[in-house]
Chain A
Amino acid sequence: MIKIENLVKAFGAKRAVDDISFSVERGEVLGFLGPNGAGKSTTMRMITGFMPPTSGKISIGAHDVAESPLEAKRLIGYLPENAASYPDMTVQGFLNFAAELRGLQGAARRKAVHRVVELCFLDSVLQQSIDTLSKGYKHRTCLAQALIHDPQVLIMDEPTDGLDPNQKHEVRNLIRELGANKAIVFSTHILEEVDAACTRAIIIDRGKLVANGTPEELRGMSQLAGAVTLQARGASLEALSRIGKVEELDGAFRIYPADKSKSKQLAQAVIELVAREGWKVEGMYNEAGQLDEVFRRITLPDTVKQDTVKK
């Protein structure tokens, strides 16, 4: 549905987006990760046709964004950064406006507005002017605008930014539901959202695409992935060292497999060792890896990176 090839955006000498390629199919929810200023918003602005790319090609469905922008835009619903909307309008007025710009008239318009009002729980504020709304409602109003024409492609720039935990949860659920038959891209720097809503995630850093995979694959890139953490009375560093590389934690040991693919055997080996030595196990975990560790390792500048990894 969305196909991006060798996308570049240069602001003067600075390359905000540097040769990024990826694609998103219907049924996929793509999490777009990266530190602030990595080029997430710029990329989204180019996908939605707001900013022309310096070079590269973006297609939405069968339409090239540069060549047939109106056709491409028709397929897209867009939630811009900070969920911008017209503060002087009522929620109803704003949604009517968006529907009309999308070419919906009369009964079709009323139906569309009704649908998104239900979907985004806006019933109670319909006649309120947008500048009197709380941040959560403002956000949902703008989200409703993006969904009004039931788009095949949904682009959202930090859809959960500034929401309280309950609202975040709702928006994530909504994204996951919508993702069943749409192609969705949303940016975030909250890593738990990747697990909560995404089928796939990409990480960009200083304009470059540095990782692309399912949440499991990304987690697998963690140094922690496949390690076993053991908390047991009587356990000794020396005995454990025979199985793998051991790190002593506060009251526990973490054993790293020599080879990530052999993490199952590692757990088995630890269990056997515990039985043989007669240690009293208080806890044992198989580490899946942590996204934030992967994220930090990939996106920190090299000098800082070495530091953190050592620690």
Chain B
Amino acid sequence: MRIIWTIAKRELAAYFNSPVAYVFLVIFLLLTGFFTFTAGNFFERGEASLAAFFGWHPWLYLVLVPAVGMRVWAEERRSGTMELLLTMPVATWQAIVAKFLAPWLFLAFALALTFPAIITVNVLGEPDNGVIVAGYLGSLLLAGAYLAITCMTSAMTRNQVVAFILSVGLCLFLILAGFNPVTDLLARWASPALVDTVAAFSVVTHFDGFQRGVIDARDLAFFLSLIGFALFATGVVIRGHRSG
């Protein structure tokens, strides 16, 4: 545990020692503001909820999360520090978990900075704050799922741009599988069972519940197992590199 925290601490420091953290925070907050109030018609909706806010997160994270996570392993491989890290008395899984936790904590921090949105709805109306908490939990899990996938693609290459593009591609698939226009298209020729199966792989389907304030064990299990699977795959990829 101490080892994991030591590595995670270093990773977090690396974010804040570089412009990445600040650029990300500013852009993230600007974009959430724009999507919520302008594109999301927050005021015109006339309801005291953060639906306009959370609804955009799968799309917003699609670009921003891979940008945060693309360096975690690619940079270690490029600079040769992966050899340094993994010849320390550190188990590979500890390094993988630490290098996932650090950017996840950072994303949680960015998400926490959106608190003015909560204040706004509470000042303007009487929202169900339970729904908002569920929404935040869902959003954090969603970011974690994208991030774990980015860790995996980052381990595949020493080039951050390649890691970014691969990760966006995979995450886009996870959105589109349950995105209404796509499921509608699919429903025209595929059996409803198939449509449901494909949609079940989608982060959107599972994120929906959280947005409505329902914390379903199946949705939780989906996100956690997606994270677990992607991190396991990261381990497989890294083992592959090490054995040459």
Binds B, one of A81-89, A114-122, A187-195: A81-89
In contact, B79 and A101 (Cβ under 8 angstroms): no
Which chain A residues lie closer than 8 Å to B2 at the CB level? 100
CB distance from A227 to the nearest CB of B (A): 44
Give Cα A84–Cα B6 distance, bound, in whole angstroms: 19
In contact, A48 and B87 (Cβ under 8 angstroms): yes
Q: Which of A51, A78, A86 contacts B244 (CB 8 A)?
A: A51
In contact, A102 and B18 (Cβ under 8 angstroms): no
Report if A145 contacts B (CB, 8 A): yes
Which chain A residues lie closer than 8 Å to B10 at the CB level? 86, 89, 97
In contact, A70 and B242 (Cβ under 8 angstroms): no
Give Cα A8–Cα B83 distance, bound, in whole angstroms: 20
Report if B46 contacts A (CB, 8 A): no
Residue of B nearest to A9 (CB): B244
- Given the known inter-chain contacts A11-B244, A88-B14, A88-B18, please indicate yes or no for A49 contacting B80, CB distance below 8 A: no
Report if A93 contacts B (CB, 8 A): yes
Which chain B residues lie closer than 8 Å to A89 at the CB level? 10, 13-14, 17
CB distance from A155 to the nearest CB of B (A): 9
Which chain A residues lie closer than 8 Å to B18 at the CB level? 88
> Of B13, B89, B243, B244, which is in contact with the most chain A CB atoms at under 10 Å from its CB?
B89
CB distance from A40 to the nearest CB of B (A): 14
In contact, B89 and A88 (Cβ under 8 angstroms): no
In contact, B83 and A80 (Cβ under 8 angstroms): yes
Report if A45 contacts B (CB, 8 A): yes
Please report which residues of chain B, range 65-108, place their CB below 8 angstroms from some CB of chain A when the two chains form the complex. 79-81, 83-84, 86-91
Please report which residues of chain A, range 48-91, place their CB below 8 angstroms from some CB of chain B when the two chains form the complex. 48-52, 70-71, 73-74, 76, 78, 80-82, 84-89
Q: Which of A48, A73, A93 contacts B13 (CB 8 A)?
A: A93
In contact, A101 and B7 (Cβ under 8 angstroms): yes
Interface residue total, chain A, C-beta cutoff 8 A:
34
Report if A171 contacts B (CB, 8 A): no
Report if A198 contacts B (CB, 8 A): no
Which chain B residues lie closer than 8 Å to A88 at the CB level? 13-14, 17-18
Give Cα A84–Cα B87 distance, bound, in whole angstroms: 12
CB distance from B82 to the nearest CB of A (A): 8
Please report which residues of chain A, range 8-60, place their CB below 8 angstroms from some CB of chain B when the two chains form the complex. 9, 11, 16, 45, 48-52
Q: Which of B89, B243, B244 contacts A101 (CB 8 A)?
A: B89
Residue of B nearest to A87 (CB): B79
Q: Which of A49, A52, A76 contacts B243 (CB 8 A)?
A: A52
In contact, B243 and A84 (Cβ under 8 angstroms): no
> Of B17, B81, B244, which is in contact with the most chain A CB atoms at under 10 Å from its CB?
B244
Give Cα A194–Cα B42 distance, bound, in whole angstroms: 74
Give Cα A16–Cα B81 distance, bound, in whole angstroms: 22
Complex interface bits, B185-217 against A, C-beta within 8 A gives 1, otherwise 0: 000000000000000000000000000000000
In contact, B88 and A86 (Cβ under 8 angstroms): no
> Of B17, B84, B86, which is in contact with the most chain A CB atoms at under 10 Å from its CB?
B84
In contact, B83 and A45 (Cβ under 8 angstroms): yes
- Given the known inter-chain contacts A88-B17, A103-B89, please indicate yes or no for A78 contacting B80, CB distance below 8 A: no
Give Cα A142–Cα B13 distance, bound, in whole angstroms: 19
In contact, A82 and B91 (Cβ under 8 angstroms): no
Which chain A residues lie closer than 8 Å to B84 at the CB level? 78, 80, 84-85, 142, 145
Q: List 22 A-B contacts (CB under 8 A).
A: A49-B87, A50-B83, A50-B86, A50-B87, A50-B242, A51-B244, A52-B243, A73-B88, A73-B89, A80-B80, A80-B83, A80-B87, A84-B79, A84-B84, A85-B84, A86-B81, A88-B14, A88-B17, A93-B13, A97-B10, A101-B6, A101-B90
8 nearest A-B pairs in the assembled complex, by CB-CB distance: A84-B80, A48-B87, A100-B6, A73-B89, A101-B88, A80-B83, A88-B17, A74-B89
Question: Besides the contacts A50-B242, A97-B10, A102-B88, what 13 more A-B pairs have beta carbons closer than 8 Å?
Answer: A45-B83, A50-B86, A70-B90, A71-B89, A73-B90, A80-B83, A84-B80, A84-B83, A88-B17, A89-B10, A89-B17, A101-B88, A101-B90
